[in-house]
Amino acid sequence: MKKEKLIEESRRYVDNAEKILRENGRYNSELKQYEDDKYVRAAGHYLWHSVLLALDAVFEVRKDRRTRVDINDYYDAVRKRDKKLLALVNNSYNTMHLSMDYDGNSRKSICDDGFALANDIIDRCAMMLIKE
């Protein structure tokens, strides 16, 4: 897949995550959290996948689409090129992949942070493609 298409696809994943929470999340404004963590987990999964797609657009981590890539491979590739992006990736791993996807943390502030981080990473990767 072309690098620009990967960025577009990653943005589509973020849109899908927003749609999942908006349509199914059942937000409780009194508790400031979503009531069904199933949809928070799904949104976290989509967000994390959007980050990986954006990173794949910039970094040559995945040589073969049939093999599984370790998160440390992404960390190593990003560390060599952009320390600020590395901090964003580390925070997104903790927020989207661990807190939202695995733990199902349904606090709206955590979810909002996940969306902000995903958009920041995608934007930064898109800018890196332009500079290439």
For the domain that residue 46 is a member of, what is the CATH number?
Answer: 1.20.120.330
Query: Do 65 and 91 meet the contact criterion of CB atoms below 8 Å apart?
Result: no
Look at residue 80 in the predicted model and tell me its pLDDT: 94
C-alpha dihedral (116, 79, 44, 29), degrees to nearest 10 = -30
Task: Dump pLDDT digits (tens) for 76-129.
Answer: 999 999 999 999 999 999 999 999 999 999 999 999 999 999 999 999 999 999
β-bridge pairing 33-34 and 27-28: antiparallel
What is the pTM assigned to this prediction?
0.92
Question: Above pLDDT 90, what percent of the chain?
Answer: 85
- Dihedral sign computed on CA atoms, order 81, 128, 111, 43: negative
Q: Radius of gyration over alpha carbons of the chain, in Å?
A: 15
Structural domain of 69 = 3-131
Look at residue 95 in the predicted model and tell me its pLDDT: 97
Domain count, the chain: 1
